[in-house]
A = this chain, B = another copy of it.
Amino acid sequence: MSSQAPHPTLLIPGPIEFDDAVLQSMSHYSESHVGAGFVKIFGETLSLLRQVVRSTDPNAQPYIINGSGTLGWDLVAANLVEAGEDVLVLSSGYFGDRFADCLTQYGAKVTKLDGPVGGVPSPAEIEKALSEKKYKLVTATHVDTSTGVLFDLKTLVQSVKKVSPDTLVIADGVCSVACEELAFDDWGLDGVITAGQKAIGAPAGLSISFFSGRAVDVAHNRKIPAAAYFANMKNWTPIMKNYEAGKPSYFSTPSPQLIHALNTAFKQLLANGIEPRIAKHVEVSDYVKKSIADLGLKPVASKKEDQSHAMTAIYLPEGVGATDVLPKLLSKGVIFAAGLHATIGPKYIRFGHMGISAVNSNRGDIDKALNALKESLAECGYKA
């Protein structure tokens, strides 16, 4: 029995439903951001992030900063690239495009490779691009929340190591960390940026990122200092190192309540190892995709290998609009998200099946949502 007030089930691609214990951690009494109790919790949370991204490299560095997923782009753009340097952005939707915008804003020279709607740029295109120019870094959106397209990071790193080994590989893992396979050390990534409110299952309000030793070196040894202060990694690296070493340290006041909630979420998701959690997300995603197909609907991500396990972007039947379906879903106690893609915006809806709604089948969230979708479409005159 949940301690939460009755409310519609939130199944958008983040924020997601909270576990009671995570939510209760949010109402922790006030404590000093440099007091022994909080220092221990924050330090531990940073160390847990290493486990979440599967890294044991002592030179790699976790950062947890008040902010959001967006701020992670700033960390990359402000610190790892100097004005005029080339960056290759691999985009499979709105969020890849936005990452490119952020890099451009900071003065990077961005080359963007777009996948087709619902797909990813091809490996051949990527290798060609990498061989034509020396890129300071390449970025890819692991799961683009606008399309539900999954990007194959592992193969990308292999290509980069082969063609352009000095190029840093940075993943936008906002909608993938804690629900998609991700092995920071084994794959050889240089950065993953994420946020608390998606598969991690913590409340929004934190920028969570993890960089390799060589990425941190790039940030700390720039030719021209980063024109950023809050998003300047040089200001944060010593703070994060101190907290993880159990020493209080101050650059800017962290949010003890958000950190407590994140600590609880991390401990829950690591309790049985992260692999079973990933497997469960795959199982639930497969079930959702099959149920969608049984309803005669198609996912935006057309190929099986490009389909994320965090969420499904679903094309609506001809003649049915998102503004028809979403209110009907809400009346049945289910919240999905509208489309968020320039080309296909009103033609599809987004169903997030991450975190507790996926992992805890006893809640019945997934079937509730699928039934509500079926009924809502029927009310719109659609027959499967």
Please report the C-alpha to C-alpha distance between residue A251 and residue B71 in the assembled complex, in whole angstroms. 11
Decide if the interface of chain A is mainly helix, strand, loop or mixed: loop
A255 contacts chain B at the CB level, 8 A cutoff: yes
Chain A residues numbered 248-299 whose CB sits less than 8 Å from any CB in chain B: 250-258
Tell me if B4 and A105 are in contact (CB < 8 A): no
Contact flags (1/0) for A30-41 with B, using CB distance below 8 Å? 111111000000
Known: A15-B31, A27-B27, A35-B335. A70 touches B251 (CB 8 A): yes
A137 contacts chain B at the CB level, 8 A cutoff: no
Among listed A18-26, A48-56, A179-187, A312-320, interface-contacting one: A18-26
Tell me if B230 and A73 are in contact (CB < 8 A): yes
Tell me if B27 and A10 are in contact (CB < 8 A): no
Known: A27-B23, A205-B258, A255-B205. A102 touches B32 (CB 8 A): no
Residue in B17, B71, B253 whose beta carbon sits within 8 Å of that of A14 in the complex: B253
Please report the C-alpha to C-alpha distance between residue A15 and residue B31 in the assembled complex, in whole angstroms. 7
Known: A227-B107, A253-B15. A7 touches B29 (CB 8 A): yes
Tell me if B30 and A18 are in contact (CB < 8 A): yes
A74 contacts chain B at the CB level, 8 A cutoff: yes
User: Residue of B at shortest CB range from A3?
Assistant: B27
Contact flags (1/0) for A1-19 with B, using CB distance below 8 Å? 0001101001010111110
Tell me if A69 and B195 are in contact (CB < 8 A): no
A111 contacts chain B at the CB level, 8 A cutoff: no
Chain B residues within an 8 Å CB radius of A101: 229
Please report the C-alpha to C-alpha distance between residue A107 and residue B228 in the assembled complex, in whole angstroms. 10
Please report the C-alpha to C-alpha distance between residue A34 and residue B15 in the assembled complex, in whole angstroms. 10
Chain A residues numbered 166-207 whose CB sits less than 8 Å from any CB in chain B: 195, 197, 203-206
Shortest C-beta distance, A369 to chain B (Å), equals 14
Contact flags (1/0) for A317-341 with B, using CB distance below 8 Å? 0000000000000000001010010
Residue in B5, B195, B337 whose beta carbon sits within 8 Å of that of A29 in the complex: B5
Known: A230-B70, A230-B74. A29 touches B15 (CB 8 A): no
Can you give 25 contacting A-B residue pairs, CB < 8 Å?
A: A15-B256, A16-B30, A18-B29, A23-B27, A23-B29, A32-B335, A32-B337, A35-B335, A66-B66, A66-B68, A67-B67, A68-B252, A68-B254, A69-B252, A70-B252, A70-B253, A71-B230, A71-B252, A74-B229, A74-B230, A105-B229, A105-B232, A106-B229, A107-B227, A255-B258
